[in-house]
Structures are given as structure tokens and as C-alpha cells.
Structure 1
Amino acid sequence: MYPIRLWAVRHARFFERVYRIFEPVVVKLQPLWNSVGYQRAEKPVSKLEKISKGLLFDCKMCGQCILSSTGMSCPMNCPKSLRNGPCGGVRANGNCEVNPEMRCVWVEAWDGSQKMKGGDKIQVVQLPVDHRQKGSSSWLRIARNASNLAEDPNKALK
């Protein structure tokens, strides 16, 4: 998966475009998610998400995907699971201090973000990972959040 993950970061602009098309589609499927029920949709959707994002981004299914904010580099691949930048132990060659044969996830994230139109989102401080969401679909979370915001702007899920 590692070479594909690096390839995805090198093509971050393309995946940003795909995401900008995909996100509204997931949101527009709101009537389907409501009729099936989020609980019932969770298993098949999270399975599909795990396969596709696992292949392309080595996704760890944290349930709170921020690929579009991190240059298409999944921060959960960091051995320290840091979501807001490198730990300070990045080696001179750009590799990870914990796993010296791997490029630092955040060096990759910065490179990927420079290719993206919305690359400045890498500057936004992210909330810590809510480990209770592990294994759940971030796609369904996006749809549910959009639905909640449409109903009541103060009701967005984290």
C-alpha cells in the first residue's frame, strides 16, 4: 500500500477534484440513508470506504477523515497518530524518526497540500481523534452532518 499512498499524495490535486464531486453526491443520497437507516447503511458503506480508501491512502478508518485537509496523506499513518503536523523528530532526509524507512506522513502532507487548490486547509488545527469513531464511515458522517446543518445549524455532529 505504501507506494500507492505516495502516488496518491503526488496526485493530490486530482483526488481533491474527485472529493469535490463525491462529497455532494454522498450528501444528495440523504433520502437513501434515511430510508435504509444510518445504522443499517454503516456496515456496507464503511466496508466500501475501507477498501477504496485503504487501497489509495492506506486509510486506518478513524471515522473522522481529514484527507482533504492534509494533502491526501492520512495522518493516522503517523506512528504517533499526530493530526496537526510533524512531531519534531523528522530526520534530515524527511523520513520518520520512529520508522526510518518511511517518509514522514507530514512531509508528504505538506507536499500534497501544495498541489491542492484548498491546500491552505493544512493550516487549520484539527481536533484530537475520537477513538469511539474508529471503524465507522466518515462518508456517512458527512451526509448526516450536512442533514443536521440543513435542519439546525447548531446541531452539527463532530
Structure 2
Amino acid sequence: MNGSTRSVSPAVDIRLKRGPSGLGFNIVGGMDQQYVVNDNGIYVCKIKENGAAALDGRLEEGDKILINGNKLEDQTHGAAVDLFRTAGEDILLCIQKKHPPHRNGPSSPEGGGDSSVPRLGLLVGVLGAAALLALLYVRFQPQLRRHF
């Protein structure tokens, strides 16, 4: 599956006023570094504590930013960052709320978040234990058959 059958969340408008530390969020994605497979969009990757976005409370990590006065589809990551830096004091964002997409990278800037890794570790552990039990059975089977 290539992700094209995903359900699309409705768009929401969010108006933010730039604070002392900017808009208060970081972005990922773009034409040159896709965050979601087959999607050149720009996504919110981190909401900064006490920043404008956190104080507003509606923007969430994983939300896709559709419009920031300019369409953000098919922009490079650097071009999108420049658009946000020069956007002025008040900004109107058109947001597509997050949903579980097929990601290329980590779900947070710190990395991790891939739930298949713990499952793989569990599988390896179970298979290792089964192999050890089989080895012990074969090794001690002659001793188990002794009759006194």
C-alpha cells in the first residue's frame, strides 16, 4: 500500500501571534526531505513549551500545515522555514489535523517511536528461548530415558 488510501482529516484554521521566541513550533518535511512517504508536505514536529503555539493549544505535533499565506506543498524545507520566519507578527495557518501516516523518519526530533522494534526484540527472545530448550532437550534426552 502506498498510503494513497489514507483518510483525510478536515482542515482547521489557526491564527497565531508571534511571541518573543517566535511561533513556538518546529517543522519537518518538504520536497527535499519527505517526512511522510509520497508527501512533500510540511508537518509540525515539536511544540515549544510556553511558545505561541503551546499557549494557543490547538496546534499539535503531527499536524500538516497546508497554507501559511502561501501553499506549502512542493516547497523545500528551507523555503518553508524562510516563509515562517518572514511571515510577520500575526499568522493564519490552515492545518490538517494529524492522523497515523506512513512516516519515513522518527515521529519526534529525539527519534524512536517505531513500535515494530520492541516486537522484533520479543520475537528474537522467544525464538532464542525455544532454541535453548530444544538444545537442552536433545543434550539431556539420553539421561531422561535411564531407568533405575
Select the structure of larger CA radius of gyration. Answer: 2
Higher relative contact order (CA 8 A, sep 6+): 1
| TM-score normalised by the chain length of structure 2 | 0.25
Q: Which structure shows the higher helix fraction?
A: 1
| TM-score normalised by the chain length of structure 1 | 0.23
